[in-house]
Amino acid sequence: MSANPDQLPITGHDRNTHAFGVLKTPDVEIVSVRLDAPDEVSATLWHFLSPDERQRAEKFRFAKHRRRYVMARANLRRLLAERLRIAPREVELVANGYGKPRLAPVHGSVDLDFNLSHSEALAVYAFTSGRAVGVDVELIRQVPDADDLAGSFFSPGETKALRAFPPDRRSLAFLACWTRKEAFIKAVGVGLSCPLDAFDVAIDPDAPARITRIDARIGRIANWGLQAFNPHPCYIAAVAYDVSVRPCRATSETPFNHCVSRIPDTSIQDCARNDRISLR
């Protein structure tokens, strides 16, 4: 007899969802999910997807990519369902005019915002209580064209700071800058109508993440929090959130002790050897 997907347990270390807690503050919670799962798990979670998501999943050429997409989207619905206290298949999502997902009006005035990002074998989800949030994650790897990409997408100040890093640290600095900028763009929620060079972030991967400049037409630095974290030694990530209502501070009682920005001592070569990173 097959299991009912809506009755599968949802916990911080659910072996069915491959989920684990990463970061928790009074206003921001980060959960990660391992995307490489047995076929039977992916098949079970398939039932959570909307018709549009199923159509998109079927368009993937390779089974690995289709399975990771199913895991990422289905687990978003599971995690939202846990917080809404409803069945995963009852979660309805829509997108704003720039493609940022949010809860559908059918859920009423629920005080819950969220965002997600995935890279290779890992997905990262951010949840907040009524405040804008954006998250981004990247596999740590060599970026041979880091200088060229920075010239196209970073601000002049960030590009200059990146080129000051020694070659063996430049790829990591690039990824630190990229995830921090993407997290902020996603939190603002207006896509590339907010130009990537309209704000600056601190790019040193071993220093606290922070926004150092924002064009006045976008907002005020004081309204935004930015934090870097490592959901896994081979991944680098950042979360941006609106703090205009109340500051977001890490708490000592949280069980997730990853409220740091220093990159673990794992080489880029180790992380980039292949795209099937062991997340056990």
Q: Return the C-alpha torsion angle 69, 75, 76, 78, nearest 10.
A: 150
Q: Is residue 88, in this structure, part of any structural domain at all?
A: yes
pLDDT-derived band of residue 272, with 50, 70 and 90 as boundaries?
low
Where does residue 17 fall: left (phi above 0), alpha (psi -120 to 50 degrees), or beta otherwise?
Answer: alpha
Q: Is residue 280, in this structure, part of any structural domain at all?
A: no
pLDDT of residue 232: 93
pLDDT of residue 19: 80
Q: Tell whether the model's pLDDT for residue 13 goes beyond 70.
A: no
pLDDT of residue 43: 86
Q: Tell whether the model's pLDDT for residue 270 goes beyond 70.
A: no
Cβ neighbours around 207 below 10 Å, total:
12
Q: What is the pLDDT of residues 187-199, one digit of tens each?
A: 998 877 788 889 9
- Phi first, then psi, for residue 268 (nearest 5°) are -60, -35
Q: Is residue 118, in this structure, part of any structural domain at all?
A: yes
Q: Tell whether the model's pLDDT for residue 111 goes beyond 80.
A: yes
Q: Name the helix (H) or strand (E) containing 113.
A: strand 113-119
Q: Is residue 5, in this structure, part of any structural domain at all?
A: no
Exposure class string for 48-75: b at 16+ Cβ within 10 A, else e = bbeeebeeebeeeeeeeebbbbbbbbbb
Q: Which residue range forms the structural domain that includes residue 219?
A: 16-272
Q: What is the pLDDT of residues 226-264, one digit of tens each?
A: 999 999 999 999 999 999 865 444 332 333 333 333 444
Q: Is residue 3, in this structure, part of any structural domain at all?
A: no
The CA distance from 199 to 216, in Å, is 10
Q: Where are the alpha helices (DSSP H) in the chain?
A: 39-45, 51-58, 63-84, 146-153, 156-163, 167-188, 268-272
Q: Which residues contact 271 (CB under 8 A, 6 or more apart)?
A: 139, 140, 141, 233, 234, 235, 277
pLDDT of residue 18: 73
pLDDT of residue 16: 45
Average pLDDT over residues 121-149: 95
Average pLDDT over residues 73-82: 95
Higher per-residue confidence, 208 vs 43: 208
Q: Is residue 183, in this structure, part of any structural domain at all?
A: yes
Q: Name the helix (H) or strand (E) containing 33.
A: strand 28-34
Tokens in use for 82? 């846990």
The CA distance from 132 to 144, in Å, is 33
Q: Is residue 8, in this structure, part of any structural domain at all?
A: no
Q: Which of 4-13, 187-196, 259-268, 271-280 has the lowest mean pLDDT?
A: 4-13
Q: Residue 252 belongs to a domain with what CATH number?
A: 3.90.470.20
The CA distance from 47 to 219, in Å, is 41
Geometric angle at alpha carbon 187, from 185 and 189, rounded to 5°: 75
Q: Is residue 247, in this structure, part of any structural domain at all?
A: yes
The percentage of the chain sitting over the pLDDT mark of 70, rounded to a whole number, equals 81
Give how many domains the chain has, as a whole number.
1
